[in-house]
Amino acid sequence: MKTSKISKFYEKSIEERLALIKDFAELTDEEVTQLKQYSCLNFEQADRMIENVFSTFPTPLGIATNFVVNGKEVLVPFATEEPSVVAAASNAAKLSSGFEAKATEPVMIGQLQVVNSENPEEGIKKVLEKEKELLAKANAGDSILIKFGGGARKITGKILETKRGKMIRFHLLVDVRDAMGANAVNTMCERISKDLEELTGGEVRLRIITNLAINRTVKATSIWKKEVIGEDTIEKVLDAYEFAANDKFRACTHNKGVMNGIDAVVIATGNDFRAVEAGMHAFASMTGKYLPITKYYKNTNGDLVGEIELPLAVGLVGGATRTHPTARINIKILGVKKANELSEIIASVGLAQNFAAMRALATEGIQRGHMNLHAKNIAVQAGATGKQIDEVANQMITEKNINETSAREILEAGK
């Protein structure tokens, strides 16, 4: 049976790790060869993605184990430069009872700004009277999206009283199916802008998607049982959560920890992490107060329940999700066929990451977990190679003296 519960993954050799992932995700030999090329983008591929390419910037790709989302075992690729993130998420998933997650329909919002309308109220009315025709026009020319069941769904209008006079803000709601949606939505907004100008008598200026995707959210929840993590830890995690819920300085870092996991998967799948970041922070402020994006409470059993809800505009088609060869393999490893499934896994990862950080912070602190890798890096900086790296790192950890001077002294003493 397929399982994400691979114990001591970190102790396995790179060949063993790749063999396990190959087996889990049924990767082909070519895909494994691709993964073995540490700078996986060749010049032509990179040059097609952005401008002025002169090199690539590789990031470590790790696999988070133990995740079970909606009853399905998943191995989750994380692209991140931060030590401890993959281990923390894997551990939180191991301690949890699995994740239940549900995404809404993938409806994004395109915004159109209308200025200089003589009568904005009348303008909105006229546009809404023509809603059906405008939606048909927005959809004309996007036959693939329509074929897959997506398309423009609704138009709303609102007057904004600004320092520069009244403006109209139109929202065009578009079901983007398995795309992130920016291209489809922006094109549709441009397609109807002349009509909006005629109907409102104003000028359409900005025509752009909003990353505050309040109609494309995902909720994930999990339970950490008191028998597994202990009642004392539950109380401490709840105190840590209350701190974040009542202090924006703490809420900001709390949410940063959530995004350690979310961004790592968003990047690994070639998605736009800036869009997801912007959406999350705006969503965290929806009440007018910046709040943690997760919630924790005890259920009647006394177990810890964690919940997360956030907008997650991620796609499986278009952009780097298709053109980046490793992103394509990562999507295959995740085994997702729909963008919603991907967002359900990503939200679960965010919750796990947050639980891991809170548990560590509220109990032993996070530095101990960081020390192992940190000590190894210091050993390398001091000139250790091969077996020396672990030896020097272990001695520094035992002596509780982790710095370059101490690493150099240990190396000298060993000569």
Q: Which is nearer to ligand MEV, 246 or 253 (CB)?
A: 253
Encoding tokens for residue 371?
A: 């020390």
Contact between 257 and ligand MEV (CB under 6 A)?
yes
Q: How far is the CB of 117 from ligand MEV (least distance, A)?
A: 46
Contact between 253 and ligand MEV (CB under 6 A)?
yes
Contact between 256 and ligand MEV (CB under 6 A)?
yes
Contact between 91 and ligand MEV (CB under 6 A)?
no
Q: Considering CB under 6 A, how many residues would be counted as binding ligand MEV? A: 10
Q: Which stretch binds ligand MEV (CB under 6 A): 165-173, 253-261, 275-283, 323-331?
A: 253-261
Catalytic residue among 175, 272, 341, 344: 272
Q: Which residues in the 96-125 window bind ligand MEV by CB under 6 A?
A: none
Hunting for tokens 């950490």 — which residue is that?
224
Q: Which is nearer to ligand MEV, 114 or 357 (CB)?
A: 357
Q: Determine how many CB atoms are found less than 10 A away from the CB of residue 14.
A: 9
Say if CB 79 and CB 64 are below 8 A apart. Answer: no
Helix orientation angle between 231-245 and 339-362, rounded to the nearest 10 degrees: 110
Contact between 245 and ligand MEV (CB under 6 A)?
no
Q: Which is nearer to ligand MEV, 115 or 366 (CB)?
A: 366
Q: How far is the CB of 366 from ligand MEV (least distance, A)?
A: 5
Q: Which is nearer to ligand MEV, 83 or 150 (CB)?
A: 83
Nearby residues of 133 by Cβ (< 8 Å), 6 or more positions away: none
Spatial distance between the Cα atoms of 350 and 309, rounded to a whole number of angstroms: 10
Q: How far is the CB of 234 from ligand MEV (least distance, A)?
A: 17
Active site residue 390: no
Q: Per DSSP, which regions of 136-202 are E strands?
A: 151-162, 165-175
Q: Which stretch binds ligand MEV (CB under 6 A): 278-286, 304-312, 353-361, 377-385?
A: 353-361
Active site residue 263: no
Q: What are the distances in angstroms from CA 226 to CA 118, 141, 274, 299, 304? A: 63, 55, 36, 10, 7
Contact between 361 and ligand MEV (CB under 6 A)?
yes
Contact between 252 and ligand MEV (CB under 6 A)?
no
What single string gives the DSSP state of each residue in 361-409?
HHTT-SHHHHHHHHHHHHHHHTT--THHHHHHHHHHHHTT--SHHHHHH
Q: How many CA atoms lie within 13 A of 411 on its CB side?
A: 21
Catalytic residue among 256, 295, 298, 332: 256
151-162, strands of its sheet edge to edge: 151-162, 165-175, 107-115, 203-209
Chain residues binding ligand MEV by CB under 6 A are 82, 253-254, 256-257, 260, 357-358, 361, 366
Give the residue numbers marked as catalytic. 82, 256, 272, 370
